[in-house]
């Protein structure tokens, strides 16, 4: 709901009055299109505090929690990314660009403002900004139309420049690092993998942490095309429009930031690639549903920030399932960092039946709720094969919590998707292992086992 308020003149007093409260910046080092949150805590009953950034005045807006907030970023890098956003209200849409005359010249003359409003007019309606998704709402009684909030105050920062944020006698110093991409790292959860097992990535890259108020998500086309997408999937792994409803997106409208990242300070960062192409295969988890993107389906890997403003990303969802599986020895690279892993020796004759795509579905991760454990098995022999599909669930101590199986026959070339159910009684970390045997009486493996980790809260 829009609340139109009376615009007040901004009274900014020169000098360093004694500060009350606490000055906070969300990142002491930033670069690219990263947004920095600047806040003054503990001033709920005071007027707008006087905060400067290298001597330039910042507008501080009081949130519903009583604290005062401003968001700042680099003008050029924001323009590059915002200009590459093809669908309004999606991806990294920074909103509508306004000059220093915005809100009756109440900003510093050096400031460019990107607003949540649909226009730069004093009175507006909600627009298409799609960053700062976790920002506190503006408190009523302020000096502007709250449909403009949150807005981002941008400036021209020089590479490797120190930027001083001052509030009275308090000061925080930030570095705008033009080489932040060189600090990005990639780690694997292990050095060798069973065939068809999850491959879990940990990527550390502050540049991917564009939104300090929310968990950023990025989706990479790992086939070497260089296509990179941001915030294209919602919390359920679906594509959403600006109103939050699931839609089928026309592939012709899908845009990516691959080329724009190079021009927005990412350097060699922002690129995830695997080799050889057939060594790893992607599979959807709750971070993504690649069937909604048929033009690029089959090579998408989505990563999510582990916590807002952490700069740490993983390709596992909240149930512990990854969206990469090991097929052969592989190398995976992110920026200038790369890792190589090997495949563990498989049981004899592993190609008789292929077990793949083990996943947990229809489950919200809460103890006491049933979960469906499913897989995909395919017969690569020229004969019908009897089999037993066995699912074993163990806790962190290795104790068996659940054991179930299905038995049947599979025709040559046939694909089956067997499923069993399991209801976890207690929160914790569990390992789900699926096996395909000749029968429950003949424990001869027809396929290497598959394994996933499930987190229950």
Q: Which pLDDT does position 13 carry in this prediction?
A: 32
Residue at token pair 């929310």: 214
List the Cα angle 58/62/66 in 5-degree steps. 135
Domain boundary among 130, 149, 176: 176
Q: Which pLDDT does position 18 carry in this prediction?
A: 45
Tokens of residue 88, six digits = 């309004």
The answer to whether the beta carbons of residues 11 and 183 sit under 8 Å apart is no
Q: Which pLDDT does position 272 carry in this prediction?
A: 93
Q: Kindly state whether residues 387 and 448 are assigned to the same domain.
A: yes
Number of domains in the chain: 3
User: Among 283, 286, 52, which residue's Cα sits nearest to residue 170?
Assistant: 52
Q: Kindly state whether residues 416 and 275 are assigned to the same domain.
A: no
Q: Kindly state whether residues 370 and 230 are assigned to the same domain.
A: no
Q: Kindly state whether residues 38 and 110 are assigned to the same domain.
A: yes
Is 11 contained in some domain?
Answer: no
Is 8 contained in some domain?
Answer: no
Task: Tell me the β-bridge partners of 233.
Answer: 239
Q: Kindly state whether residues 143 and 208 are assigned to the same domain.
A: no
Q: Kindly state whether residues 51 and 80 are assigned to the same domain.
A: yes
Residue at token pair 């209200």: 89
Is 4 contained in some domain?
Answer: no
Q: Which pLDDT does position 1 carry in this prediction?
A: 38
Reading the chain (457 residues) residue by residue, the pLDDT tens digits are 333 333 333 333 333 334 567 999 999 999 999 999 999 998 888 889 999 999 999 999 999 999 999 999 999 999 999 999 877 788 899 999 998 788 888 899 999 999 999 999 988 888 889 999 999 999 975 667 889 999 999 999 999 999 999 999 999 999 999 999 999 999 999 999 988 788 999 999 999 999 999 999 999 988 877 889 888 887 777 776 554 444 555 555 667 898 899 999 999 899 999 999 788 888 888 888 887 776 665 588 999 999 999 999 999 988 788 899 888 899 999 999 999 999 886 444 445 688 877 888 767 778 888 888 888 888 876 678 888 999 999 998 888 899 888 899 998 878 898 988 889 999 999 999 998 888 877 777 888 888 888 888 8
User: Among 111, 128, 110, which residue's Cα sits nearest to residue 119?
Assistant: 128
User: Where are the extended beta strands (E) located within 106-246?
Assistant: 112-115, 152-155, 161-167, 170-176, 185-188, 192-193, 201-204, 217-221, 228-230
Is 85 contained in some domain?
Answer: yes
SS3 letters across 306-348: CCCCCCEEECECCCCCECEEECCCEEEEECCEEEEEEECCCCC
In whole angstroms, give the CA distance from residue 411 to residue 383: 7
Domain boundary among 134, 154, 176: 176
User: Among 310, 82, 75, which residue's Cα sits nearest to residue 206?
Assistant: 310
Q: Kindly state whether residues 82 and 154 are assigned to the same domain.
A: yes
Is 10 contained in some domain?
Answer: no
Q: Which domain holds residue 285?
A: 180-343
Q: Kindly state whether residues 162 and 188 are assigned to the same domain.
A: no
CATH number for the domain spanning 426: value is 2.60.40.10
Q: Kindly state whether residues 156 and 212 are assigned to the same domain.
A: no
Domain boundary among 343, 374, 394: 343
Is 95 contained in some domain?
Answer: yes
Q: Kindly state whether residues 222 and 313 are assigned to the same domain.
A: yes
Is 89 contained in some domain?
Answer: yes
How far, rounded to the nearest angstrom, does the alpha carbon of residue 69 sit from its chain's CA centroid?
23
Is 98 contained in some domain?
Answer: yes
Q: Kindly state whether residues 320 and 185 are assigned to the same domain.
A: yes
Q: Kindly state whether residues 252 and 369 are assigned to the same domain.
A: no
């Amino acid at each position: 709901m829009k609340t139109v308020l009376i615009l007040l003149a901004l009274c900014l007093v020169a000098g360093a009055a004694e500060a009350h409260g606490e000055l906070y910046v969300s990142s002491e080092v930033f670069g690219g299109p990263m947004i920095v949150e600047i806040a003054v805590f503990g001033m709920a009953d005071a007027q707008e505090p006087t905060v400067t950034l290298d001597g330039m005045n910042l507008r501080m807006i009081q949130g519903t929690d009583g604290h005062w907030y401003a968001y700042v970023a680099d003008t050029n890098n924001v323009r590059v990314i915002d200009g590459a956003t093809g669908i309004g209200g999606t991806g990294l849409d920074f909103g509508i660009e306004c000059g220093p005359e915005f809100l009756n010249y109440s900003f510093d003359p050096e400031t460019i403002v990107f607003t949540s409003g649909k226009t730069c007019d004093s009175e507006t309606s909600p627009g298409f900004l799609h960053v700062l998704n976790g920002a506190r709402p503006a408190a009523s009684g302020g000096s502007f139309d709250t449909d403009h909030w949150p807005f981002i105050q941008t400036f021209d920062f020089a590479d490797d420049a120190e930027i001083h944020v001052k509030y009275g006698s308090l000061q925080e110093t930030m570095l705008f690092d033009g080489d932040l991409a060189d600090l990005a790292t990639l780690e694997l959860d292990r050095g060798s993998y069973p065939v068809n097992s999850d491959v879990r990535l940990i990527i550390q890259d502050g540049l991917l942490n564009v939104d300090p108020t929310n968990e950023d998500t990025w989706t990479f086309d790992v086939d070497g095309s260089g296509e990179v997408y941001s915030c294209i999937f919602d919390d359920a792994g679906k594509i959403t429009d600006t109103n939050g409803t699931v839609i089928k997106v026309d592939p012709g409208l899908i845009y990516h930031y691959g080329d724009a990242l190079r021009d927005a300070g990412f350097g060699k960062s922002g690129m995830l690639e695997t080799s050889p192409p057939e060594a790893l295969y992607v599979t959807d988890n709750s971070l993504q549903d690649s069937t909604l993107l048929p033009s690029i389906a089959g090579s998408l890997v989505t990563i999510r920030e582990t916590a807002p403003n952490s700069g740490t990303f993983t390709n596992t969802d909240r149930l512990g399932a990854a969206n990469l599986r090991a097929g052969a020895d592989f190398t995976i690279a992110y920026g200038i960092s790369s890792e190589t892993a090997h495949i563990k020796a498989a049981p004899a004759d592993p190609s008789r039946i292929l077990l793949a795509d083990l996943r947990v579905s229809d489950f919200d991760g809460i103890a006491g709720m049933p979960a469906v454990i499913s897989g995909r098995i395919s017969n690569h022999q020229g004969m019908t094969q009897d089999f037993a599909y066995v699912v074993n669930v163990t806790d962190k101590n290795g104790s068996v919590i659940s054991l179930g199986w299905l038995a049947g026959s599979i025709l040559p070339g046939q694909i089956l998707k067997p499923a069993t159910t399991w209801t976890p009684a207690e929160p914790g970390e569990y390992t789900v292992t699926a096996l395909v045997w000749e029968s429950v009486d003949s424990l001869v493996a027809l396929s290497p086992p598959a394994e996933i980790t499930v987190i229950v809260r």
